[in-house]
């Protein structure tokens, strides 16, 4: 069985020009696109007339925390495994409905993301994105990730080696390290380096042996330098990168996930409810992170799409808002912002199958009433249609 989607304006996720009067055919068994074009359409078993609406690839969010509760002051990390699983499933439904069809986890309590990824593959849970699980994050004792049930605590290269090997044995498909302090934890600061170069270098070596990517939470300057020196594939946040860091990231092909929304929303909306230390740290960093991320982007550093979903006020519906902030606060065009989703597919090494609408790739796509290349807020439409592998989810 095949389904033809016709009379659409298609942004294929790579080319800035729309395919007007576009069509594509999906094989209903594999969920892949078998043909694309414009104008005259081929035969198919089922025909769907999109009546001039706008089609774009499903979004890929490369930084989420499915077991965090954005409405809880403690991020919900102290709950038991059953409560955390229920919360994760709710967050995943919200994420898919917002237009995100694939996520990369960056730390989940109890390794719940590994279980959720397996259940999704087996078809035992529905209406959720595909998941690249990380399991627990890796932190030093007393570091940014030393929160209830959240991280593997390591304090030497040998401990790191064992922990990474165990994590991958458990099913982690990507690795998340904590290279600096951060906003959410009171006893540390983003300017404090945490995991050492040697510890992170071991993590990178072990992960790369199995072809898996490593990224580091690194907000302050020394931690960013340490993470780059250790050879990580991605730097999360990267608020205080300097010219030397930018040059090295370009040379090494290091990706950055800016997660602007995570800091912005705490700084702008957190005063009434969040601890003062969180609001102060976020507000003090905001102007600097915007200036530094602009400089890095303009220089050619690869920028991905990630939100740090699950942090305070930063719900799983916020990925389209991250795109808006890229346009409004980082002075990007809508096309540049949208291309970060494809960059995330490249970083996650899934771009042969996901990230753009092309013959042979999976038919993960959104249907919008308005053109996202003109108005980036179009991606925020509440009633947009969301498809995974050619099957409508919302």
Q: Which CATH architecture has domain 59-348?
A: Alpha-Beta Barrel (3.20)
Q: Which of 111, 135, 106 is nearest to 259 (CA)?
A: 106
Q: What is the DSSP letter of 309?
A: B
pLDDT for position 183: 80
Q: How many Cβ atoms from other residues are within 10 Å of residue 119's Cβ?
A: 16
Tell me how far apart the alpha carbons of residues 232 and 261 are, in angstroms, rounded to a whole number. Answer: 23
Tokens (6 digits) for 320: 């389209």
pLDDT at 142: 95
Q: In tens digits, what is the pLDDT along the chain, a chain of 394 residues?
A: 999 999 999 999 999 999 999 999 999 999 999 999 999 999 999 999 999 999 999 999 999 999 999 998 778 888 999 999 999 999 999 999 999 999 999 999 999 999 999 999 999 999 999 999 999 999 999 999 999 999 999 999 999 999 999 999 999 999 999 999 988 777 788 899 999 999 999 999 999 999 999 999 999 999 999 999 999 999 999 999 999 999 999 999 999 999 999 999 988 887 778 788 877 778 788 999 999 999 999 999 999 999 999 999 999 999 999 999 999 999 999 999 999 999 999 999 999 999 999 999 999 999 999 999 999 999 999 999 999 999 999 9
Look at residue 273 in the predicted model and tell me its pLDDT.
82
Alpha helices in the chain (DSSP H): 81-97, 112-121, 157-170, 197-209, 221-230, 243-252, 260-269, 276-299, 319-328, 334-347
CA distance linking residue 179 with residue 176, whole number of Å: 10
**CB-count burial class (<10 Å; 0-12, 13-18, 19+) for 50:** middle
- Structure confidence at residue 184 (pLDDT): 74
Tokens standing for residue 272: 């009434």
pLDDT for res 60: 98
Identify the pLDDT of residue 149: 94
Dist. CA 3–CA 13, nearest whole Å: 21
Intervals of CATH 2.30.40.10 along the chain? 2-57+357-392
Q: What pTM did the predictor assign?
A: 0.96
For residues 34 and 389, the answer to whether their CB atoms sit within 8 Å is no
Task: Tell me the three state secondary structure of residue 246.
Answer: helix
Considering the chain, tell me which residue range(s) the CATH 3.20.20.140 domain(s) occupy. 59-348
Distance, in Å, from the CA atom of 63 to the CA atom of 45, rounded to the nearest integer, reads: 38
Domain 2-57+357-392 has CATH 3.40.50.410: no
Q: Strand ranges (DSSP E) for 39-150?
A: 46-49, 54-57, 59-64, 100-105, 130-132, 137-139
pLDDT score at 75: 83
């Amino acid at each position: 069985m095949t389904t033809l989607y016709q009379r659409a304006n298609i942004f294929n996720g790579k080319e800035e020009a729309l395919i007007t009067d576009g069509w594509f055919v999906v094989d209903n068994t594999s969920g892949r696109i078998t043909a694309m074009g414009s104008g005259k359409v081929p035969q198919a078993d089922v025909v769907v007339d999109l009546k001039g609406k706008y089609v774009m690839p499903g979004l890929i969010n490369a930084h989420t925390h499915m077991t965090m509760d954005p409405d809880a002051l403690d991020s919900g990390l102290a709950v038991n495994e059953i409560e955390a699983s229920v919360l994760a499933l709710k967050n995943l439904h919200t994420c898919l409905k917002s237009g995100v069809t694939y996520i990369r986890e960056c730390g989940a309590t109890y390794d719940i993301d590994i279980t959720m990824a397996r259940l999704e593959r087996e078809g035992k849970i529905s209406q959720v994105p595909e998941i690249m699980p990380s399991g627990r994050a890796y932190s030093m004792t007393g570091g940014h990730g030393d929160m209830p049930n959240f991280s593997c605590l390591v304090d030497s290269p040998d401990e790191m080696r064992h922990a990474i090997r165990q994590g991958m044995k458990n099913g982690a498909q990507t690795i998340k390290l904590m290279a600096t302090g951060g906003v959410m934890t009171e006893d540390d600061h983003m300017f404090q380096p945490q995991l050492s170069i040697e510890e992170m270098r071991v993590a990178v070596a072990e992960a790369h042996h199995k072809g898996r990517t490593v990224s580091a939470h690194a907000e302050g300057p020394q931690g960013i330098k340490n993470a780059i020196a250790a050879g990580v594939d991605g730097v999360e946040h990267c608020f205080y990168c300097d010219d030397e860091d930018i040059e090295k990231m370009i040379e090494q092909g290091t990706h950055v996930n800016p997660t602007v929304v995570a800091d912005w929303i705490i700084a702008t909306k957190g005063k009434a409810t969040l601890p003062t230390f969180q609001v102060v740290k976020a507000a003090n960093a905001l102007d600097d992170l915007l200036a530094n991320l602009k400089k890095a982007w303009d220089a050619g550093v690869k920028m991905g799409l990630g939100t740090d979903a699950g942090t305070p006020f930063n719900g799983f519906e916020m990925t389209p808002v991250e795109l808006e902030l890229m346009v409004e606060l980082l002075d990007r065009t809508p096309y540049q912002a949208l291309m970060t989703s494809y960059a995330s597919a490249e970083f996650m090494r899934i771009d042969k199958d996901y990230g753009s609408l092309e013959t042979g790739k999976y038919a993960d796509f959104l249907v919008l009433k308005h053109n996202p290349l003109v108005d980036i807020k179009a991606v925020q439409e509440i009633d947009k249609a969301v498809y995974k592998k050619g099957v409508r989810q919302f």
